[in-house]
Amino acid sequence: MDRLIKIEKEDDIPEVYKLTPIGNLLKYHNLNSPFKPYSTAELLIGMCMDNRKHLRIPDNFAYIIRTGGANLRYSEFKVSYAIGVGGVKHIALIGHNKCGMANLVSKKDTFVEGLIYNAGWNKEQAEEHFMNYAPMFEIGNEIDFILSETLRLRKKYPKINIAPMLYLVEDNRLYMIKE
């Protein structure tokens, strides 16, 4: 956790993000700042679909794309829409610890058994499905993945301010990731 920047007061927010929607996200979520009214989104938040995460933000403040591991590789059209049509110029990319998309191979048996029991699939269908898709969605280490995804998105959208963050499920707080 020495790769994380704890945000406990406004001065903890890195200067580059302070006066941006990214800084506002940190103030709303971590510092309980009062909400301002928004008529249009100022931020795109890319975060994991995990049910343990909930952000404290005002209505209309942000577009949110939730996908396994905060992996936006297969959501680029939606990202482009938020930028091109929605006019956002800032992205908060939020991974979290204890992510199910990390080390997917260790979850293969549970995945297969769950599809057999819950979805009515046969074992062969479930295993084939896992083997076809797990490599696309495996993220490895959560922090390393968020940093690599941040760099990838910065290359694709060079004028967009993109901030790598981690949500700790133990304290429900956002942390900046040191780059």
pTM: 0.94
- List the chain domain ranges: 4-101+140-177, 103-138
Mean pLDDT (the chain) is 96
Q: Along the chain (179 residues), what's the average pLDDT of each consecutive run of 10 residues?
A: 93 97 98 97 96 94 97 96 98 96 95 98 97 94 97 98 97 97
Q: CA 156, 162, 166, 167: dihedral to nearest 10 degrees?
A: -110
What are phi and psi for residue 4, nearest 5 degrees? -110, 145
Tell me the pLDDT tens digit for each residue of 99-137: 999 999 999 999 999 999 999 999 999 999 999 999 999
CATH 2.170.190.11 assigned to domain 4-101+140-177? The reply is no
Task: Return the pLDDT at 1.
Answer: 65
